[in-house]
Amino acid sequence: MFRRPWLVICAVLGACVMLLAAAALWTLTQALQPQPLAAPGTPIAISDLNAARRLINRDVLRKAFHGEPLTLSLTGAQARALAQDMSARVLHAPATLTLSARHADITLSLPVRQTPLRALHPLGNWLNVHARIRAAPSGPPVLTAVQVGELSVPPALALWVGQRIARAQGLQELTALALAAIETVQLSPTRVSATLRWRPELRAQASALLVPPDMLEALSRYHHQLAHLLNHPPAPESRHDQPRWDRPLHQLLPALMATAQQRSLAHAFTASAPRLEDDAARENRAVLLVLGLYVNRVSLATLVPAARNWPALPARPLTLQGREDLAQHYLTSAALATDLGGRLSDLIGMYKELLDAAPQGQGSGFSFNDLAADKAGVRLGRIAVHDPLELQSRLSQAQSDTDLLPDVRDLPEFLTAAQLQQRYGGIDTPAYRALMDNIDHRIAQTPALR
């Protein structure tokens, strides 16, 4: 008599579970599809990047950081090529962009085997995502429709999922800042343009994001040490050597990392293992940020107002293997990689070299040694965060620039777009990839980066 109610409850619960499972299975069958909707695009043409050249101009970026509006305008062909190329490089997935009056439709085809849903590939090999955005009177564009396979997804739910993904990747605050900087977006069938303004409140938020309060002490420590090292160069190895105006990186980075190692060892007896790794990573970030700003002649006070009262750093060319440009590529990529991640830093370096090779541009040409310095810097930044104690040990023992970067003097440089095409057939060709593999092999053999 008393068992029937429980049987009924169990039957109802079982039916609910089965219904939920059936609903989930139906949802997945609607979301996954056998064929991609977006076809792979051709590698980006160098000419498609000409309009973006001004974004890497130092004067333009400095003015933009101080509040002047920055406008980027692309033709429809350029916007489509850039969207396809970035999707292929960052997501390893084809994408298409279709422009219309005040709207843009983006279709992305993700191989299921490359997503967390890989076990469900028998239900469909592709996760096709279609999104429509509309240009608003002001501010960033508005997401108006999302479809995953045959399944319509409410835009609010899609935005919520996107925010969770950005948070998991550590990019939520950075993404929010970038969207807040957008003043207007204009869309037409033949052109895309956006105007951004870095308002004072956004600069303050960016400074807090890049330089959290617990990092100020470390930044001050390495800024003061760098000032001392620059003002007191090592004595010449022999009396016949002439004093050097430039400062080789191997005279500065190992010394700063030795201090970082001392700080980490001092915490070894008081901090837990995870806390020790976090503290060491913070010290490494501070070292790379101080050097990255210095080599690019950017004052630390730009991000940290308190640095206005710290000792001034004397102007000296900071070189790597005798070249200032290699030091700039190396340290800038390393600093970016500690916060943005290696794949994005690789992408920035590759696009920068393509822009240098672009016709009608003012760049020095496509240089594989610059690209090697970018890639080595990315590797340095990754290790600085993911294996901070080991990196401190390696760098504190570095004695020459080749301990930091493999010899790249034999790599082709200053190539125009036509020369790059003639020698290698462009990018993403077997000849190009073979040389990139050779560069990766050299970097992997570098003492500090193994």
Beta bridge partners of 351: none
Mean pLDDT of 31-60: 62
Question: Nearest to residue 139, comparing CAs of 178, 101, 113, 188?
Answer: 178
Predicted confidence band at 201 (pLDDT cuts at 50, 70, 90)?
A: confident
Q: Report the 10 Å Cβ neighbour count for 264.
A: 22
Alpha carbon distance 58, 423 (integer Å): 30
Q: Over 50: is that where the pLDDT of 446 sits? A: yes
In sequence order, what are the residues at sequence separation of 6 or more whose Cβ sits closer than 8 angstroms to the Cβ of residue 80?
41, 96, 97, 99
What whole-number percentage of the chain has pLDDT above 90? Answer: 30
Please tell me whether the overall predicted TM-score, pTM, comes out greater than 0.75 for this model. Answer: no
Predicted confidence band at 157 (pLDDT cuts at 50, 70, 90)?
A: confident
**Amino acid identity for residue 31 in this structure:** A
In sequence order, what are the residues at sequence separation of 6 or more whose Cβ sits closer than 8 angstroms to the Cβ of residue 364?
356, 414
Give domain limits for the chain.
46-197, 211-232+246-449
pLDDT at 319: 94
Q: Over 50: is that where the pLDDT of 361 sits? A: no
Question: Nearest to residue 72, comparing CAs of 56, 94, 86?
Answer: 56
Task: State both tokens at 19.
Answer: 């219904």
Predicted confidence band at 30 (pLDDT cuts at 50, 70, 90)?
A: low
Alpha carbon distance 19, 39 (integer Å): 36
C-beta separation of 43 from 427 below 8 A: yes
In sequence order, what are the residues at sequence separation of 6 or more whose Cβ sits closer than 8 angstroms to the Cβ of residue 448?
380, 391, 394, 395, 398, 403, 404
In sequence order, what are the residues at sequence separation of 6 or more whose Cβ sits closer than 8 angstroms to the Cβ of residue 148?
31, 127, 128, 129, 130
Supply the mean pLDDT for the chain.
80
Q: Is 308 exposed, middle or buried (0-12, 13-18, 19+ CB in 10 A)?
A: exposed
Mean pLDDT of 431-442: 91
